[in-house]
Amino acid sequence: MLDRRTLLNTSVAAIASTLPALKAEAKGLDFDLEPRGTTGVFERLPRLDLESELGFYTSYRTWIRQDVFRSAARRANAIFRELAINPRENDLPIREVVKILENDPLMGYTVHARETTQQIMWAAIQDAYHADGEMYLEELERAELKGPGSLQLRADLHIPRFASYEIHLQPGGYVGDPFAGYIYYHGLNVEFGNGNYRDELQTGRADAVPLPPDGKVKRVLEQGCSAGQLTLALKKKFPDAEVWGNDIGAPMLRFAHMRSADLGVETHYMHELCEESNFPDNHFDIITNFLLYHEIPEQVGRDIIHESFRTLRPGGIWYPMDIYTSSPPPQSAYGKFSSWFDHRWNSEVWWLDYRKLAPDFENEMKRAGFEVVRHPTGQGSRTNIMGVKPA
C-alpha cells in the first residue's frame, strides 16, 4: 500500500535512484504501461469512468472560467463603481480590494466552485495511479534503464521548503507523490479544457522561442520542466541540438524521461535547482522556462536570472514565459482579487511574490548583465521579455 505521508518524506530520497546517471541503451526492457493505450501521443487515463469523470470536470470548469468568471468580474466592477473607485485601474493594495469583495456571494461561489473541482479532479487522478501504484512504479523504474536520452536523479538533493508546497492544490505537490508526473500531466489537460492531448500548449510555446541572434543552437535547457512536455517540443523544434530539462521534482523527471523514452525522443533530464544548476559557464545557446515564475519566491526568481546568465554562452538567449512576462500584473479590482484567490485558495503560494517581482524583472535582468529586448510571443500582437547575453 502506498502511504502519502511516508511518501512525502521519502519519495525524493528513496525513490530517486542511487545510480548517478542512467544513460540507457538497454533493449528489451519495455514496460510501457498504458492500459487503455494512447491517443496520438497522449497517454490515456487508465479507466473509462475516470476519463468520463474528468470530462465532466473539464466542462464544468470551462463554464466556471468563462461565464462565472465574467459575471464575477462584472459584479466586482459594479461594486467598485458604487464606491466611486475606478474598477479597471486603481492603486488600492490587494488586501483592501479583497476586503471590499470577499463577502460578496458571487465572489465566494466563484472561488468555491473552482477550488472544489480542482481538489476533486486531482484526487480522482491520484487515486487511480495509487490504486495500481506498484505497477506504475515498475514502469518508472524500467524506463530509467531505457533510452534514448538520459535521466540524472540525485538522492542527496535537498528540497527547499518553498518547492514542497502543494501548488495549485496538487496532492503531494511536485516532490511528494511518486506519481506527481502522471497526476500533473492529466490535470494540466483538464485545466486547459481538454486542449492538451497533443502537448499543444507546450508546442505553441516552443514555436514562440526565438533563435539567438547568430542563429546557432547546439544546446537548449528548459528550466522547471515538470512532465517534460515543453522539453519534448523543444527537441522537435531543434532536432540537432542537445535538449535538457531540469526540475527539483524527482517524480516529475521520472515521468518526463519515461514518456520521452516511450516516444523515442532523445531528451535529457537533470534533478537540480534551477538557481544552483550543475551546468558549466557559457554552456547553453537557449535557456527557457514556462509557467515557472509564478510558482517560486521572489528571491529565487532573481537568482534564476543570474544563474541563466552564467550558464548561457555569449550571444545566447534567455526566454522566460509566464503570465507576466508578456503583460504586466492586472491592476483591475477583479484582477487583483483573482491573484489573491489563486494565492489563498488555490495554494499558489508564490503568486503575490510574482506580482512583486514582475515590475522589476527587466531591471534584474539588466543587473545580471543581459541586454533586454522584446520578442513576439506567437499570441497576437503581444511581445515577451527576452535577455541576450552580450557576445
E strand or H helix at 219: strand 219-223
Check binding of 209 to ligand SAM (CB under 6 A).
Answer: no
From the CB of 87, what's the least distance to ligand SAM, in Å?
30
Region binding ligand SAM by CB under 6 A among candidate stretches 13-21, 51-59, 102-110, 219-227: 219-227
Of 291, 323, 372, 373, the residue at the interface with ligand SAM (CB under 6 A) is 291
Nearer to ligand SAM, 43 or 72 (CB): 43
Check binding of 296 to ligand SAM (CB under 6 A).
Answer: yes
Of 126, 150, 202, 332, the residue at the interface with ligand SAM (CB under 6 A) is 202
Rounded CA separation 99/344 (Å): 14
Check binding of 275 to ligand SAM (CB under 6 A).
Answer: yes
297 prior amide bond cis, ω within 30: no
Nearer to ligand SAM, 81 or 158 (CB): 158
Of 229, 260, 332, 377, the residue at the interface with ligand SAM (CB under 6 A) is 229
Pairing type for strands 242-247 and 383-388 reads unpaired
Q: Which residues of 155-193 are buried (b: 16+ CB within 10 A; e: fewer)?
A: eebebeeebbbbbbbbbbbbbbbbbbbbbbbbbbbbbee
E strand or H helix at 221: strand 219-223
From the CB of 282, what's the least distance to ligand SAM, in Å?
21
Check binding of 322 to ligand SAM (CB under 6 A).
Answer: no
State which residue has the least CB distance to ligand SAM.
224
289 beta partners: 223, 320
From the CB of 100, what's the least distance to ligand SAM, in Å?
31
261: which 3 cell numbers?
Answer: 523514452
Nearer to ligand SAM, 163 or 317 (CB): 163
DSSP 343-362: HHHS--TTHHHHHHHGGGHH
The dihedrals phi and psi of 79, each to the nearest 5 degrees, come to -60, -45
Nearer to ligand SAM, 163 or 386 (CB): 163
Nearer to ligand SAM, 289 or 332 (CB): 289
From the CB of 195, what's the least distance to ligand SAM, in Å?
13
Check binding of 300 to ligand SAM (CB under 6 A).
Answer: yes
Fill in the DSSP letter of residue 67: I
| Sign of the Cα pseudo-torsion (192, 209, 229, 115, in order) | negative
Of 45, 206, 250, 274, the residue at the interface with ligand SAM (CB under 6 A) is 274
Region binding ligand SAM by CB under 6 A among candidate stretches 94-102, 246-254, 255-263, 367-375: 246-254
Cβ atoms of 386 and 198 closer than 8 Å: no
Of 129, 174, 293, 319, the residue at the interface with ligand SAM (CB under 6 A) is 174
Cβ atoms of 178 and 17 closer than 8 Å: no
Check binding of 292 to ligand SAM (CB under 6 A).
Answer: yes
Check binding of 196 to ligand SAM (CB under 6 A).
Answer: no
From the CB of 37, what's the least distance to ligand SAM, in Å?
23
Residues 254-273 that bind ligand SAM (CB under 6 A): 273
Check binding of 179 to ligand SAM (CB under 6 A).
Answer: no
255 to 184, 228, 335: CA distances (angstroms) = 10, 8, 34
Check binding of 249 to ligand SAM (CB under 6 A).
Answer: yes
Rounded CA separation 103/117 (Å): 21
Q: Which residues have C-beta within 8 Å of that of residue 231, sequence separation ≥ 6?
A: 222, 225, 243, 244, 245, 256, 260, 267, 269
Cβ atoms of 289 and 223 closer than 8 Å: yes
Q: Which residues bind ligand SAM (CB under 6 A)?
A: 163, 174, 188, 202, 224-227, 229-230, 246-249, 252, 273-275, 290-292, 295-296, 300
